[in-house]
Each structure stands twice: as C-alpha cells, then as structure tokens.
Amino acid sequence: MVDDSEKLACPEHGEATATYVCEHLAADPVQRWYSDYPSAGTPWPDAWCAACNHVYLREGEWNERNECDLDIRILCHHCYENARSDSVDYLSNDALDRWEEFVSACCEELKEKNDALSVEFAIGSHKRYDWDQATGELVFSNDGIHAVTAKVDFVGSISTASNTWLWAWANFHLLEPIRLRVEAVRDHGEVHGYPRLTTAKWHAEMVDGWEMAAIAAHVLKAKGVYRSPSEKGALFMLISDIRKHAS
C-alpha cells in the first residue's frame, strides 16, 4: 500500500494526509476493522474488513498474489478517524449486552476503590496536585508541603474541543513508560471483542472517559483513578500505589 505521508485535497476537510481502507469499510465503517495498531510514524494504518481479512490470511501479508483481490479506497485522515470512530458501535445483541454488563461492573468496582482512597488519603481535598511524566508520580500538597504521593499510569484523555477519547497507548506525545501499561487493556479488548478498547480514538463524552478508566483500573488491578481536568478536557490516570507523607 501507499506511503502514509502522501497528501490529498479533501472536499470536506481541505488538505490532509491520505489513508487507505478497503471498499467495504469505506461503504460501511460500522463493522470490525483489521489493521496494525497506530504508531508514531503511521497514525492511520491501512485497514480492511473481515471479508478482506480472509484474503489477507491466505498469504499472511499483502503481496502481489493477493493485493489484486483488494479494492482500495482513499480517505483523508479526518474522514478515516470519523469512520473508525463510527466502527466502535458495531456490537449488537448478546455481544452488546456483555459489554454493557462489563462496563457497569467495572464502574461499580471503581466507585468503591475511589471512595476508599477519599477516606484514607483525602483525595480531592488537598489544595494542589502536580503530576510528572518522567517520574510517573502524582503529588498532592498543601501550602507547599507534600501530603500524598501516588504512582500513576496514564489511561487516556477526553478532548472537549473535538469530543473524542484518545487512549494513552496511541498518544505519542506522552513518554513511553507512562503510557505502555494500558496496552494490557487493549489486549483485553482484543480477546473479548470490545472495540472501544482497541480503537485508538473515537467520539466520546466525559462519562466515556470515566468508563474507560474504570475498565483500565479493573484490568490492571489499580487502586483507583484520578482525573486531571483542563480547559480542553481531562486526563485520566490510574493510581497503582499511594502513600502519605509524615505531617
């Protein structure tokens, strides 16, 4: 397939990066997408549907023997992201029921964990908090005095500008150590067929951020979740360890 750095003029979005999907995804994106995961060099990897995946599996790769059976469509990267975002809604019937039950159970579990943190460590009551990617620490303080320090991993972020969720494993502006543990949540999504866990970016609201963080806390057995709000949304962090400082 073609170099991701190629540009095109999209009638809707103007100049953008060219991306490549099979004709079936272009026509109906609300289905399972097959592709590599995004990387810093390839944020919008070539993608194809389940039917085309059978063709792919004949060779275990795309090559001159099977590419002739693949009808490619070119999308701008904005159209690609919108289509891929739509794909997370392909679950139905029993699969959708299982997903909703799983989300509900994880949210209940997180409420108990966060309530316990609030009681023991007064999370949310301190005057200031600061987090540091390099150290992987979240520090709560009062008048310049450290009160509580937590070890954290980033889960993902909600943008209120674009109304999207972005998993930390696909946010290549973050340092690797702080974002890689959440790949286990992506793996969980692969095993159980949960597209919201395996799709890097999708249309979402703040409640979705809490739900994804709750799932991450369950999968990674975290002690709780902290949300760091900003003018443009919020960052969700897993608390893996936490301690008080001597007063």
pLDDT at 5 over 80: no
What pLDDT is stored for residue 69 in this prediction? Answer: 86
Looking at every residue in the chain, the average pLDDT score rounds to 95
Residue 119: both structure tokens together: 């009681």
pLDDT tens digits for 64-87? 888 888 999 999 999 999 999 999
pLDDT reported for residue 68: 87
In the predicted structure, residue 144 carries a pLDDT above the cut 90: yes
Q: Is 243 helix (H, G, I), strand (E, B) or coil?
A: strand
pLDDT at 246: 84
State pLDDT tens for residues 42-56. 999 999 999 999 999
What 3-state DSSP class applies to 173? coil
Q: What is the pLDDT of residue 166?
A: 98
In the chain, what percentage of residues exceed pLDDT 90?
A: 91
DSSP summary character for residue 246: P
Please give the pLDDT value at position 2. 42
Share of the chain above pLDDT 70, in %: 98
DSSP track, 5-41 = T-EEEETTTEEEEEEEEEHHHHH--SS--EEPPP-SS
164-221 per-position pLDDT tens digit: 999 999 999 999 999 999 999 999 999 999 999 999 999 999 999 999 999 999 999 9
What is the per-residue pLDDT for 1? 41
pTM listed for this prediction: 0.93
